[in-house]
Chains A and B, each alone.
Chain A
Amino acid sequence: MKYSLFLGCTIPARSRNYELSARAIASRLDLEFVEIEDFSCCGFPLEASDEMGAILLGAMNLCLAEEKGLDICVLCSACASMLTKTAYHLDHDQKLREQTNKELAKIGKEYKGTVKVKHFARILLEDVTLERIKKETKQNLKGLRVATHYGCHYLKPAYIYEGFDDPQDAQTLELILETVGVSNIQYRRKKDCCGGPVLLSDEEVALKVAEEKLRNVKEAGADCMNLVCPFCSLMFDANQKGIETKSGDEFDIPVLYLPQIIGLAMGFSRKELGLNLNSVSTKELESVLEA
């Protein structure tokens, strides 16, 4: 299994814990990543102000993978949706494709539509398979109560994802966690957004949306949260302290990336998984697991 790895902007700069843990478990699972130097921003941040610019960036990244003849593995859900959406529109709208290729020609590129974009979690499920993950599991995480946050762009808009998972009743991330033995716990308004994208226009609203979710997770008695997007992590992990200060409530919920949890089950060290880089301390969690 060989994929080009699309990191996007945020992960290499701000979420090395995600990158570290993903690379760690990938190597264990025979999932080979190829680096492409020219990968840029996916285009997502331009969607609201320059939709054509966003499509162009998305298309250029797709072209880079096409040149190498490799499908793309994406860690960030926003990047995954932007690249998938770009491919979807370029494949369905001939006019848009011509227009795009005209611009791409200026840097000597052409979109052909030969690569597939997949989120890292989707690759674990569809290519690596659950049996394989189970086989590599060294420590069963039985008793660990995990609240999964699917986030939005991992599954939505549904029309670009060809029926992968169901936004009304998402299952995939919990299926993966199940194989390493954790208890998936349910909580109120599980489908709600993290609030991230509003951060740029109204910080107060964005933090309030995240606060609601943290409260619901806390109420359900979770040991930690599980997610697959650096924006969601920013809202729940990095901003948790600030939300606590503002609301006066204490949440103290460790927020882990999916590969960090899987990595624990596979026996990787704290440092190998970048757990030391998480904002909310995961120490207590790890000691529970060790016991």
Chain B
Amino acid sequence: MRTFSLRDLDSDFVDEIESLDFIGTFRDCYACGTCTGGCPVHRVNNDYDPLRIMRMLVLGLREELLKGEMIWLCSDCYTCQENCPMEVKITDIINHLKNLATHEDNTPLGVSTQKKLLMDQGKIYIIDEFDNKKRAKAGLPSLPEMAEEARKLLNKR
């Protein structure tokens, strides 16, 4: 087993995450495990454990969190967040961690592909002529192929 030295941990990481307005504090976590107990993903895959994510965060295990696969298994269902007795915004935090992981080039292919699609098209699926024909046949209004405005907005940043 690898032994970690706490000297190497990033204690600023905790402050960095907590400084985000929409997240608030998570240090109130008393490790009760309600998050993990209700997690539908944990039930089918033990490797995923929201409590462990919170503990890693509290201790400042930045690398472990952002380079690992664990956070990407979160289904974004908010069960843990709604159940948390200390009102820690667990799902929102994990979501933010996914963003930080993306900065470290740790993004699953599916997620980065979707991002690229949106940058190029402004929507995930193009509505081509064939689609619009089918829509017309069913009595549905026709739609533009891409979302031009959105594409512009994302690319002008």
Residues of A within 8 A of B (CB): 7-10, 12-14, 16, 19-20, 23, 35, 37-41, 45-51, 53, 56-57, 60, 64, 89, 93, 95-96, 103-104, 106-107, 152-153, 156-158, 167-168, 189, 191-193, 195-202, 205-206, 208-209, 212, 274
Contacts and interface: CB of A to CB of B under 8 A. Distances in A.
Interface in B31-52: 40-41, 43-45, 48
Given A40-B122, A205-B41, A158 B75 contact: no
Given A12-B135, A93-B22, A201-B73, 20 more contacts: A9-B125, A12-B131, A12-B140, A13-B131, A14-B125, A19-B140, A38-B147, A41-B122, A41-B123, A45-B114, A46-B118, A93-B21, A106-B152, A157-B92, A189-B40, A195-B75, A197-B75, A200-B111, A202-B72, A205-B41
Closest 7 CB pairs of A and B: A200-B110, A40-B147, A40-B150, A193-B77, A156-B78, A13-B125, A9-B124
B6 interface: no
Interface in B14-31: 21-22
B110 A39 contact: no
Contacts of A45: 111, 114-115, 118, 124
Given A104-B153, A156-B82, A157-B91, A193 B99 contact: no
Interface in B111-157: 111-112, 114-115, 118, 122-125, 127, 131, 134-135, 138-141, 143-144, 147-154, 156-157
A32 B92 CA distance: 35
The interface centre, meaning the residue of B22, B102, B110, B153 with most chain A CB atoms within 10 A of its CB, is: B153
A41 B118 contact: yes
A192 B111 contact: no
A13 B44 CA distance: 31
B82 A158 contact: yes
B59 to A, nearest CB: 23
Contact of B118 (A8, A38, A57): A57
A201 B6 CA distance: 30
Nearest to B110: A200
A157 B144 contact: no
A196 B147 CA distance: 24
A49 B96 CA distance: 9
